[in-house]
Amino acid sequence: MADIPGREDVLVEQYSRSLAQQSVDVRGYTLVEITLVLALLGILLLIGGPLLTRWNGQVSLESAARQVQVDLLSARDKAVLEQRTVALVFTLDSSKYRITYSDDERVSQSRTLPGGVVVQTTSFNVNTAFYRNTFIFAADGRAGKPNMGGTVMLRGPNGRNRYVIVSRNGRVRIDSTPPPSGEIPW
């Protein structure tokens, strides 16, 4: 079959024709279509950007409140398990606090709140300056100082607040509204 004259030319011509048809069938996007899509995406981001920022601030605040709640619950459990007092010392207008143990002040864990969240205030204002803004769990897991429990007020980057409330029995909860006025001295 290879000896048939013109057969090669016919095959090449058919192959060329099929390639030409395939290239005609392929469609692409024009520059105008791509520009229009990019403009619409830009407008959506311009409108949605502030909403995303507000949402991100809310997520940071919720995450910080959960972190403080978990650390308080862990401190309570450690106090009961090891039969020693455990304290959380909060630094006001800061995103930092630390966890310390009564029998060894050198052992402490520093913690940082996420995403622009700060400790606005606490109701752990015991009369002495040494225990100011400090919550202490007694060895039985109950509130040691202050013995009536208290509240940590967290402020998010969006200006909203979350309250981490510790009862005198050592229960810890998060709320978006402050506890009754008698519980927080502000």
> pLDDT (tens digit, 9 = 90+) per residue, 111-165?
999 888 999 988 876 566 666 788 888 888 888 776 778 899 999 988 899 999 9
If one compares 49 and 37, the residue with the highest pLDDT of the two is 37
In a domain? residue 24: no
The pLDDT, as a whole number, for residue 25 is: 52
In a domain? residue 106: yes
Instruction: Give me the number of domains the chain comprises.
Output: 1
Contact 137, 84 (CB under 8 A): no
Residue 41 dihedral angles phi and psi, to the nearest 5° = -65, -40
Tokens of 150: 């208290």
The pLDDT, as a whole number, for residue 146 is: 66
The pLDDT, as a whole number, for residue 167 is: 87
Average pLDDT estimate for 80-95:
89
- Given a cut of 70, whether residue 31 has pLDDT beyond it is yes
Average pLDDT estimate for 29-38:
91
Q: Closest Cα to residue 71, out of 43, 100, 51?
A: 100
In a domain? residue 138: yes
In a domain? residue 20: no
Which of 5-14, 60-69, 104-113 is most confident?
Answer: 60-69
DSSP state of 1: -
Q: Closest Cα to residue 155, out of 98, 116, 182?
A: 116
The parent domain of residue 54 ranges over 31-183
Contact 132, 139 (CB under 8 A): no
The pLDDT, as a whole number, for residue 165 is: 92
Q: Residue 138 belongs to a domain with what CATH number?
A: 3.55.40.10
In a domain? residue 14: no
SS3 content of the chain, % helix, strand, coil (to 5): 40, 25, 30
Contact 91, 110 (CB under 8 A): no
Q: Closest Cα to residue 116, out of 186, 36, 60, 185?
A: 60
Average pLDDT over all residues of the chain? 80
Average pLDDT estimate for 34-50:
87
Percentage of the chain lying above the pLDDT 70 cut? 73
The pLDDT, as a whole number, for residue 36 is: 93
In a domain? residue 118: yes
In a domain? residue 19: no
The pLDDT, as a whole number, for residue 37 is: 93
